[in-house]
Structure formats: C-alpha cells, structure tokens
Amino acid sequence: MKDRAISLNAVLDALDQSINILEAEDRIRDLPSVTPQPKTGRWVKTPKAVMGEGYMWYCDKCEHQVYQDNSEPYPSEKYCPHCGAKMVEPQESEDKE
C-alpha cells in the first residue's frame, strides 16, 4: 500500500461514526488524501536577559520557550521541539517577556 497523508480530524470523525473496527477501517481507507502544508516558524527573542547570561526565545507558532546563552546569536534548533515547525530567520520582539 502506498503512503498518503490524510487529515487527523477526518480520521477521528470516521472513528466516531463507525460501529466496529471493520467499518472504521473502510471509512478511513475511503478518506481523500490531503497535501501537507509545511509549517514554518521563527524563534523570537524576549526583550530581557535571563540572569544576565542569555535569553529566552519562543516559537512564534506555539510559544514554546528555549534558553540560549550568549555564545550563539540564536537557538541552534532547526525545528521547534514542541510543534515541529521548521525555524527560519529569527527575530527580536518587544511584546513578550
């Protein structure tokens, strides 16, 4: 069987509407394929240093925070460990603490 992407919400709906596992399997197999949309985000630096040693950065998609010391200009993670967004150019922000 060839791999394909389907909507999680559609799968959950199919399960809710099914009487047994065989019916659920049939409903799920009949779901249309979807085209995954790549999720990108940015690390945003908080305006204040943490204990004078570094900065807290947060993902602009899910607001997951990471600490970065002053040895690097921004977090080295290429993906947010919380939501999986691929990180692009970081930015500074004055609106989060």
DSSP three-state, residue 37 = coil
pLDDT tens per residue, the chain (97 residues)?
Answer: 678 888 888 999 999 998 999 999 999 999 999 887 788 999 888 877 666 677 888 899 998 888 877 766 677 788 888 888 898 876 654 444 4
Considering only CA atoms, which of 30, 31, 65, 58 is closest in space to residue 44? 58
Write down the pTM of the prediction.
0.52
Computed on alpha carbons and rounded to an integer, the radius of gyration of the chain in Å comes to 20
